Amino acid sequence: MSFFDKLGKTVTETANSVVEKTKSSTDTIRLNNRISEEERNINAAFLSIGKKYVELHPNDAEAAYSEYLDTIVQSQQKIAEYQEQIRKNKHLLLCKNCGAEIPEAVLFCTKCGAENPVGKQMAEERAAREAAERAAMQQAAAAQQSAAAAAGEVCPNCGKPKTPGAMFCTSCGMRYVTPQAAAPAAAPTPVPVPVPAAAPAPETVAAPTEAPVPAEEAPAAAPGKTCPACGHAVPEGNKFCINCGAALEAAPAPAAEAPAEQTCPNCGKSIPAGNKFCTGCGAKL
């Protein structure tokens, strides 16, 4: 046998050996999986047997099973407590009729329509609390109104307490103060202008004030201006006639001081000077 023949035979045997080992390993894995599946079936059957036994003998189980039953019962009680705490956190409860979880504040079950006594009690307590709050508020308002009536601080039309500083009732709109016509503003008193004494007339001219001497009979005077009252010539610069005492130039009228306040002609309220609208009634000034 040549070298290449021996080499080919060796390679073939090696390959067959690998295939056999691979097939054996695959069969082993498959069989182990089947064994595990059967074991799961057995455990499920044991579990079903235990559940069925507990259902059939909840109170008359044999002593050999009492320990397991006690453990199951304790765990079930803890689970129920934990579930109840979760429902309280979510404000839920179990319907007494169908066992469904419903909000604790509803009056009827959302699943079966049965009445929810807890929700009904909560609604009654809420209504009683709101009624008590309304009664307390009404009592406080009545006491305030009585105190205001005793102090004369109520509206004469509706009896509601007056708002401090208000000109109208905030309840019925009645005006508290009857508007009065604004008094006419007093004219400023003119400042009297001092009149200097008239210069003595010459002895040759003695004319009374009521009947001034004609200009042609008056003594000649220095060139100047003529009195508009009597026509007498007066020297330049004189402010009063030397014949009749009339003022030759009108004295400037004193400037009237602007009032610090003004009165509204509609409601009579005193408001700062310069305002264009009344702050009490809104009337345009």
Task: Give pLDDT tens digits for 148-163.
Answer: 777 667 787 887 777 7
pLDDT value of residue 259: 62
Tally the C-alpha atoms within 13 A of residue 159's C-alpha that lie toward its C-beta: 8
Distance CA 166, CA 6 (A): 126
pLDDT value of residue 221: 42
Residue 124, in any domain of the structure: yes
Residue 225, in any domain of the structure: no
Of 150, 169, 190, which one is at a domain's C-terminal end? 150
CA 197 from centre of chain: 78
Do 146 and 86 lie in one domain? The reply is yes
Of 88, 123, 150, which one is at a domain's C-terminal end? 150
Do 145 and 83 lie in one domain? The reply is yes
DSSP, collapsed to helix, strand or coil, labels residue 270 as strand
Domain enclosing residue 139, as ranges: 77-150
Assess contact for 100 and 81: CB atoms under 8 A: no
Residue 138, in any domain of the structure: yes
Do 56 and 95 lie in one domain? The reply is no
Instruction: Report which of residues 23 and 215 the model is more confident about.
Output: 23
Average pLDDT across the chain, whole number: 77
- Give Cβ neighbours of residue 149 (< 8 Å, ≥ 6 apart): 159
Do 92 and 53 lie in one domain? The reply is no
User: 115-124, 224-233, 255-264 — which one is most confidently predicted on average?
Assistant: 115-124
Percent of the chain with pLDDT over 90: 28
pLDDT value of residue 199: 52
- Does pTM surpass 0.85? no
Assess contact for 159 and 142: CB atoms under 8 A: no
Instruction: Report which of residues 200 and 166 the model is more confident about.
Output: 166
- Terminal-residue alpha carbon distance, the chain: 138
Do 37 and 84 lie in one domain? The reply is no
Distance CA 62, CA 59 (A): 9
Closest CA to 168 of 276, 275, 285, 269: 269
Residue 35, in any domain of the structure: yes
pLDDT value of residue 126: 94
Residue 46, in any domain of the structure: yes
Categorise residue 109: left if φ over 0, alpha if ψ from -120 to 50, beta otherwise. beta
DSSP 198-243: PPPPPTT----SSSPPPTTTSPP--SEEE-TTT--EEETT-SB-TT
pLDDT digits (tens, 9 = 90+) for 186-214: 656 665 555 555 555 555 444 444 444 44
pLDDT value of residue 63: 87
Do 88 and 52 lie in one domain? The reply is no
Do 87 and 45 lie in one domain? The reply is no
Of 105, 129, 150, which one is at a domain's C-terminal end? 150
Residue 36, in any domain of the structure: yes
pLDDT value of residue 133: 95
Bridge partners, 80 (sequence order): none
Total number of domains constituting the chain = 2
Do 54 and 82 lie in one domain? The reply is no
Instruction: Report which of residues 271 and 132 the model is more confident about.
Output: 132
- Give Cβ neighbours of residue 33 (< 8 Å, ≥ 6 apart): none
Assess contact for 229 and 246: CB atoms under 8 A: yes
Residue 28, in any domain of the structure: yes
pLDDT value of residue 252: 53
CA 186 from centre of chain: 49
Residue 129, in any domain of the structure: yes
pLDDT value of residue 254: 54
Q: Is the pLDDT of residue 116 over 80?
A: yes
Instruction: Report which of residues 28 and 13 the model is more confident about.
Output: 28
